[in-house]
Amino acid sequence: MDERSWAEFFEKVINTKVVIKVKYGLYKGSYPSRIEDVRDGAVAVSHPFLKNGLVPLYKDTILDLITFEKQPPMIIQMKVLRRSISNGIPLLWLFPSGEPVKIQRRRYARVSCYMEIAFFSLSREKKAPFSASWEEARGLDISLGGIRMRSKVREESLEEGDRLYLRFNMDPNEEIYMISNVVRVIREGEFLESGLQFEGYPRFTERRLIQFIRSKELRNAKDVFHD
């Protein structure tokens, strides 16, 4: 891509969150950042922080810039040009040194979620009224499409196709209720690992799920974005 094409590319994602991935050296790791400015083919990002100071990134350092908002996730190899300050914000100026590469991701981003889950078997209740009861499980990971959980093996095991009513908390002050379908069940000793697909949910629940998943993605960027 030429300078004009790069400028157009970065102007589309200005003011969006990105991840800076340092692949080598003492400060190897992934750091949250934001695209702040675009000028003369170069892009300025908010300088990554490490504890109470700036991550030491010097001129000509090669790193990866990962974009994931407003467009499909992309990874771009960049070279550090300089550092500056604008309106009190430390900036790191970068210049592309490689072509953008699209990151292949699942249809729904999936993040870990070690939360308590209560589930009620609607399928069992339909077969034998008043026979079902609330049972406990622990969430393993979650996406906009479903959740994976672990529960103890019981007399009437969960089966693929079962419909469950779920109750769980994404924060201490808010309970989420959902109907889901069991799409996979794996027995591991005395436990069952079940893959559930959400049947549907209102818009406000979708917003809460998106917020939860985004916050998890940013905290665990190096697990979500990978080569």
pLDDT in tens, 20-65: 888 888 888 778 889 999 988 899 999 988 877 898 999 999 999 9
Spatial CA neighbour of 76 closest among 48, 50, 98: 98
| Helical H segments across 71-220, by residue range | 122-127, 203-219
pLDDT of residue 104: 54
Lowest mean per-residue pLDDT among 21-30, 35-44, 97-106, 208-217: 97-106
Phi, then psi, of 58 in degrees rounded to 5: -110, 170
Reduced to 3 states (helix: H, G, I; strand: E, B; else coil), residue 209 is helix
Span 141-180, pLDDT tens digits: 998 889 999 998 876 678 888 999 999 988 777 888 999 9
Domains of the chain, CATH where assigned: 3-102 (2.40.10.220), 110-225 (2.40.10.220)
CB-based contacts of 77, cutoff 8 Å, min separation 6: 62, 63, 64, 65, 96, 97, 98
pLDDT above 70 covers what percent of the chain?
92
Cβ atoms of 180 and 164 closer than 8 Å: yes
> Quick check: 126 pLDDT over 80?
yes
